Amino acid sequence: MGIRDSISDQIQCSRCGELYDRSDVDRLLWCVGCRARARLIATRRARIAATGLAVIVAGYIWGIIRPTDVVIGGWIATVIAAYWIGGKLAREIFYGIERSNRKRYPASGG
C-alpha cells in the first residue's frame, strides 16, 4: 500500500473542510458534526415557525370561530396539533435548505 492508497481513504467534509475517513461522511460529503449542526439550526428555526403557526391558528379560532366553553379542549388540541405538525414539517424544510446552502461552517463546527 503506497501513499496514494492512504490518501484516498480520507476525504474532506464539504461543509467544515476537515479530513475524515470515507465511512464518516454521507453522500453529500458532510461529516457527523456538520449534519448535527445543520439539524440543530433547522430545529431552532422550526420552533419559531411552529410557534408562529400556533399563534395564527389560535387567533383564528378565538377571533373568527369563537369557540364555546363546551369544546374548548378540542380547540386547544387543535392548536397543539398545529404546533407539532407545523414544527415537524418546518424542521424538514429548514434542514433541506441548510443542506443545500453552500456556506461553510468554521472548522471547529464539524
C-alpha 29/C-alpha 43 separation (Å) is: 21
pLDDT tens digits for range 37-90: 999 999 999 999 999 999 999 999 999 998 887 788 999 999 999 999 999 999
Whether the Cβ atoms of residue 87 and residue 50 lie closer than 8 Å to each other: yes
21 bridge partner residues: 10
Domain count across the chain: 1
Q: What pLDDT does 83 receive?
A: 98
11, 28 contact by CB (below 8 A) = no
Global confidence as pTM: 0.78
Residue 78 domain boundaries: 3-109
If one counts every other C-beta atom within 10 angstroms of the C-beta of residue 110, the result is 22
What is the rounded distance in angstroms from the CA atom of residue 48 to the CA atom of residue 25?
Answer: 30
Run of H or E including 19? strand 19-21
Has residue 6 got a pLDDT over 60?
A: no
Type of residue at 51: T
Checking if the pLDDT of 24 tops 50, the result is: yes
